[in-house]
Amino acid sequence: MSYRRPIASNWWMAKTNYKLFMFRELTAVFVWLYLIFYLCQLSQLGKDPGTYTTFLSHRASFPWILFHIVALVAAIYHSVTWFNLTPKVIVVRQGEEKIPDGLIAGPHYAGWLGLSLAIIFIVLWS
């Protein structure tokens, strides 16, 4: 009779690649938490101005600023690792050769930068 080996619950500790994968998955939790927070902010905006001002003053506290920094770093790590994988997903050939990875990942980074600058512009100067 064949023997099936059990898989340990901490299987992902066995290799650096597995750990990096789990870390990347974990970063999505911060993006999700930020979205929840953002939805709460929108709901506060619908109430009276006093409630919203109180909400904003709470947001300026150290734990919230720390949360935003961690969420930003997590979102950047998630995005960078994703854009770096795009050449594996999108394959464009010129004759027999694949076009360089940079030509696939590059436009993604450019789009990301462009959109971020547009949002910064709208938020700061509109």
Partner 1 sequence: MAERTITLEVFRYRPDKDKEPTFQSFTVPFREDWVVLDALNYLKDQTDGSISFRWSCRMGVCGSCGMMVNGTPRLSCAAFLREYYPGPVRVEPLANFPVERDLIVNLDDFMKKLKAVKPWIIRKEEKPVSEGEYRQSPAELANFKQFSMCINCMLCYAACPVYGLQPDFVGPAALALAHRYNLDSRDEGQELRKEVVFSHESVWECTFVGECSVVCPKDVDPAGAIQQEKVAGALDLVKSVLMPWGSR
From 10, 49, 62, 93, residue interacting with partner 1 (rule: CB under 8 A): 93
Question: Which helix or strand (DSSP H or E) is residue 62 part of?
Answer: helix 62-89
Binding span for partner 1 by CB under 8 A among 17-25, 27-35, 48-56, 102-110: 17-25
For residue 93, the cross-strand partners are 98
From 36, 42, 60, 89, residue interacting with partner 1 (rule: CB under 8 A): 89
Tokens of 72: 């930003």
Binding span for partner 1 by CB under 8 A among 36-44, 49-57, 85-93, 100-108: 85-93
Structure-token match 């919230």, residue found: 64
3-state secondary structure of 97: strand
Nearer to partner 1, 101 or 115 (CB): 101
- Residue 75 CA to residue 27 CA, distance in Å, equals 7
Amino acid (1-letter code) at residue 36: I
- Positions touching partner 1 (CB under 8 A) are 1-5, 7, 11-12, 14-15, 17-18, 21, 25, 85, 88-91, 93, 95-97
